[in-house]
C-alpha cells in the first residue's frame, strides 16, 4: 500500500501473484465452494446478507429478509474471508476486493448481532474458536511501538474529525441529545471532574493524556495542578504547545513517559482511554502505580472501553488499527483495585454515548474524505471508514461497553452521600 503522507499503520497483505488479474475472476464458482460458503455463513450466525460472487452468481439468503449484498470480487478474497473472517474481512474490504452494497452501518450491525448470537457450528466451529488473536505485548518497548503506530499518524488527520477544542479521542457524554461534539466532550470532562470532586490546588496525575485536553480543562476550570504521562511523541508535543499558548504551562506538566514510571504523591489519579492499551497482564502493575501515587485521601477514575464477557479484540482492529488493544470486563479490571484494596465507589456504563460519539466522528471523517484520500490512499480511506462504522456497530449491538470506574482509598469516609452533585446545573 502506498502512503503519500505520513506513515500509516495499515498494511494490507499483497495478493498472491497466481491469483491476481482479470482472467481468474471469470472462473466460475464451484459447487464445493458454494457448500463451504453456506457452512461458513451458518457458523457466523447466518447474517441477513446476500452474496454476489466474482462471476456474477448471487447466493441469496433465503432464510431472512436481507439488508445488504456482499460482493466477493475474487476467489482469494473468498478463501481469505472463510479462513480468518475477523482479520481478513477488514483487509479485503480495505483493498476493495470485498464490497458492501446497501446500508453499510446496518450490514455491520447485522453481522455483529449474528455473531453475538452464535458460538459457531459444524466444520467451522473449531476454526472460529481459534481465530482470537493474542494482543501484541505491552512491555515498555512494545507499548511505545504500539502507541506510535496509532497515535503518530499525524495530528492533522485526527484534527479533521475530533472535537476542535480539546481533541478528545475518547467517548463523549451527551446529557442532552442535541449537544454538539464539542459540547459533549466538555460535558464528559466536567462529568469526570465532578466524579473526582476536584478542589482548587489539588494535584492530579493522568495516565495516558492523548493531546492533553483533559489536563488543560482540569487546570483551567477546576484550578488543579496536573502531571500527565503519554508515550506518543506527537501528542505530547502538541499538548505542550497548546498549554503554552493558553497560559497553562505552569499548572500542567506533560511527561513523555510510560505510566509505569509515574512518580510523586497526588490527590487524584485519572486515566481516560488508556486502559484499552494496557493489557490485562499489566493491571497489577497499574494498580501498584495507583497505590503508590495516591495520598491517603486519594481517589481516582478510570474510563475505558470494556466487555460484558471476556473476549479478545476484533483481530483486524488489533492488528491494523490498535495494536495491543484489549477491552476488559469489569472482573478483569478488578485486578487493578482489589490487590490494593482500593474501594470502587461508582461504575457507570456509557455504551450508547460512545456509539453517538463515533457517529459524529464518522460524519466529520466522511466530510473530509477527499483530504484523507489525497494524503493517504483509498485503502486507508476504506480501512478507517470500516473501523469507525464497525465500532459504532460494536457499541450499538452491545459487543463493547464503556465503563467509568470511580474509586477511593478504603478508609476515606469523606464521601458524598449521593451522586446528585453530578447532575446539578
Question: Rule CB under 8 A: which residues touch a second copy?
Answer: 113, 116, 174-175, 177, 308-310, 329-331, 334, 337-339, 341-349, 351-353, 396-398, 401, 409-413, 415, 417-420, 422-423
Question: Which is nearest to 73 in space by CA: 93, 90, 59?
Answer: 93
Please give the sequence-ordered ranges of beta strands (E in DSSP) within 257-376, or none if there are none.
Answer: 266-272, 294-306, 343-349
The CA distance from 272 to 291, in Å, is 18
Please give the sequence-ordered ranges of beta strands (E in DSSP) within 190-336, or none if there are none.
Answer: 203-207, 225-230, 252-256, 266-272, 294-306
Which of 51/342 has CB closer to a second copy?
Answer: 342
DSSP-derived 3-state class of residue 404: strand
The minimum distance between CB 404 and a second copy, in angstroms, equals 10
Residue 371 CA neighbour count, 13 Å, CB half:
11
Order the strands of the 49-52 sheet from edge to edge.
58-59, 49-52, 68-72, 98-102
Which of 175/284 has CB closer to a second copy?
Answer: 175
The CA distance from 172 to 191, in Å, is 10
Which of 7/415 has CB closer to a second copy?
Answer: 415
The minimum distance between CB 361 and a second copy, in angstroms, equals 18
The minimum distance between CB 131 and a second copy, in angstroms, equals 19
Which of 310/369 has CB closer to a second copy?
Answer: 310
Which of 14/417 has CB closer to a second copy?
Answer: 417
Cell 471523517 identifies what position?
A: 365
The minimum distance between CB 286 and a second copy, in angstroms, equals 16
Going by their DSSP bridges, the two strands 49-52 and 58-59 should be labelled as antiparallel
The minimum distance between CB 420 and a second copy, in angstroms, equals 4
The minimum distance between CB 417 and a second copy, in angstroms, equals 6
Which of 112/133 has CB closer to a second copy?
Answer: 112
Which of 250/414 has CB closer to a second copy?
Answer: 414
Determine contact, residues 299/409, Cβ cutoff 8 Å. Answer: yes
Residue 58 pairs in a beta bridge with: 52
The minimum distance between CB 425 and a second copy, in angstroms, equals 10
Q: What is the dihedral of CA 160, 161, 165, 168, to 10 degrees?
A: -130
Amino acid at each position: 500500500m502506498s502512503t503519500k503522507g505520513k506513515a500509516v499503520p495499515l498494511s494490507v497483505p499483497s495478493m498472491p501473484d497466481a491469483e491476481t488479474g482479470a482472467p481468474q475472476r471469470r472462473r466460475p464458482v464451484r459447487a464445493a465452494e458454494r457448500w463451504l460458503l453456506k457452512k461458513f455463513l451458518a457458523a457466523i450466525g447466518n447474517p441477513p446478507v446476500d452474496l454476489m460472487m466474482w462471476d456474477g452468481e448471487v447466493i441469496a439468503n433465503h432464510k431472512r429478509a436481507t439488508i445488504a449484498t456482499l460482493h466477493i470480487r475474487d476467489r482469494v478474497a473468498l478463501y481469505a474471508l472463510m479462513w480468518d473472517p475477523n482479520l481478513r474481512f477488514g483487509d479485503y474490504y480495505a483493498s476493495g476486493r470485498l464490497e458492501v452494497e446497501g446500508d453499510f452501518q446496518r450490514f455491520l450491525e447485522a453481522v455483529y448481532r449474528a455473531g453475538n448470537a452464535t458460538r459457531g457450528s459444524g466444520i467451522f466451529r473449531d476454526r472460529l474458536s481459534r481465530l482470537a488473536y493474542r494482543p501484541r505485548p505491552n512491555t515498555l518497548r512494545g507499548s511505545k511501538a504500539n502507541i506510535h503506530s496509532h497515535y503518530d499518524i499525524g495530528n492533522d488527520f485526527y484534527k479533521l474529525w475530533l472535537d476542535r477544542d480539546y481533541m478528545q479521542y475518547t467517548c463523549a457524554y451527551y446529557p442532552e441529545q442535541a449537544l454538539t461534539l464539542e459540547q459533549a466532550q466538555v460535558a464528559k470532562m466536567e462529568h469526570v471532574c465532578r466524579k473526582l470532586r476536584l478542589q482548587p490546588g489539588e494535584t492530579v496525575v493522568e495516565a495516558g493524556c492523548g493531546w492533553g485536553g483533559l489536563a488543560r480543562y482540569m487546570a483551567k476550570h477546576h484550578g488543579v495542578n496536573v502531571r500527565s504521562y503519554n508515550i506518543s511523541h506527537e501528542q505530547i508535543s502538541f499538548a505542550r504547545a497548546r498549554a503554552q499558548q493558553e497560559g497553562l504551562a505552569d499548572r500542567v506538566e506533560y511527561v513523555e513517559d510510560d505510566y509505569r514510571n509515574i512518580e510523586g504523591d497526588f490527590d487524584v489519579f485519572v486515566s481516560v482511554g488508556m486502559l484499552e492499551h494496557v493489557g490485562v497482564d499489566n493491571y497489577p502493575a497499574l494498580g501498584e502505580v495507583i497505590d503508590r501515587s495516591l495520598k491517603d485521601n486519594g481517589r481516582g477514575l478510570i474510563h475505558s472501553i470494556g466487555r460484558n464477557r471476556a473476549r479478545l479484540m476484533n483481530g483486524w482492529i488489533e492488528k491494523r488499527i490498535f495494536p495491543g488493544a484489549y477491552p476488559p470486563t469489569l472482573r478483569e479490571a478488578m485486578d487493578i483495585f482489589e490487590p490494593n484494596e482500593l474501594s470502587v465507589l461508582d461504575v457507570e456504563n456509557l455504551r450508547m454515548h460512545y456509539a453517538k460519539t463515533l457517529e459524529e466522528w464518522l460524519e466529520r471523517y466522511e466530510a473530509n474524505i477527499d483530504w484523507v484520500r489525497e494524503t493517504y490512499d483509498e485503502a486507508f480511506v476504506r480501512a478507517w471508514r470500516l473501523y469507525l462504522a464497525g465500532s459504532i456497530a460494536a457499541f450499538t449491538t452491545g459487543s463493547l461497553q464503556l465503563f467509568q470506574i470511580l474509586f477511593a482509598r478504603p478508609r476515606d469516609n469523606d464521601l458524598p452521600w449521593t451522586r446528585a452533585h453530578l447532575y446539578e446545573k
